Amino acid sequence: MIGDWGALLTLLNFGGVAVFAASGALAAARRKHDIVTFVFFGAVTGVGGGSLRDLLIGAPVFWVGQPEYIVVCVAAALVIWLIGGGPGRERALLWLDALGLSAYAVVGAMKAQAFGVPPLPSVVMGILTASFGGIIRDVLAGEPSVLLRRELYITAALAGAAGFVGCRSLGLEPAASELIGFALAFGVRAGAIRFDWRLPGFPGRAAAPD
């Protein structure tokens, strides 16, 4: 990552870990779990996507060599434990999550390309980095997965990762490509939050209940 925008993405990377960890802790709060479960949910959600990406591309798992990411997860979970949840806080978290997802989609694709991964798999790595932690959180909490919701979440990650990789393939500078990818992801996710944007669903009839 280069220049001021690269420094901003690094901050958003840490911010994304904190936000996703907080969302994991909120899932534990809704189930009234204990403090250990809060921290576990926070850590798994915060670093889950990046861990899967690193394993798939053969890179050292990022938080093993940089334990400060785990410290951030623990701190975020403890903050949620202390201040509790609430409709207002969860609404604000949606917007923070949108920032984190947008940064993660670009950072995931960028790291994959840095390790020599071809363009299309790099896009997939961006999507996984941005969304896999949330998928794990929902499975552990017994909540509907983000994969099964009609809201534009995975689509936002796709837009950001594909935008970044596409710009780099066209020869744009890294900083400009990062900015475009981030803006695409955040724009799609913001539209979903603010205006309830959705993709068309399958037009077939639902199966009759047994």
* Mean pLDDT per 10-residue segment, the chain (210 residues): 54 82 87 91 94 95 93 94 76 82 92 94 97 89 78 94 97 92 96 92 59
The answer to whether position 179 is within a domain reads yes
The answer to whether position 206 is within a domain reads no
Among all chains, which residue has been given the structure tokens 């958003």?
12
The answer to whether position 181 is within a domain reads yes
Q: What is the pLDDT of residue 96?
A: 79
CA distances 174 to 68, 99, 158, 166, Å, are 26, 19, 18, 11
The answer to whether position 201 is within a domain reads no
DSSP 9-61: HHHHHHHHHHHHHHHHHHHHHHTT--HHHHHHHHHHHHHHHHHHHHHHHTPPP
Q: For the chain, how many structural domains are there in total?
A: 1
Q: What is the pLDDT of residue 145?
A: 80
Q: What is the pLDDT of residue 85?
A: 64
Q: What is the pLDDT of residue 141?
A: 85
| Residue span of the structural domain in which 81 resides | 3-195
Which has the closest alpha carbon to 17: 91, 83, 99? Answer: 99
The answer to whether position 191 is within a domain reads yes
Stated pTM of the model: 0.88
The answer to whether position 202 is within a domain reads no
The answer to whether position 112 is within a domain reads yes
The answer to whether position 204 is within a domain reads no
**How does pLDDT run across 63-72, given as a tens digit for each residue?**
999 999 999 9
**How does pLDDT run across 73-110, given as a tens digit for each residue?**
999 999 989 987 677 777 877 887 888 899 899 999 99
Residues 6+ apart with CB under 8 A from 170: none
Q: What is the pLDDT of residue 8?
A: 60
Cβ–Cβ under 8 Å, residues 26 and 199: no
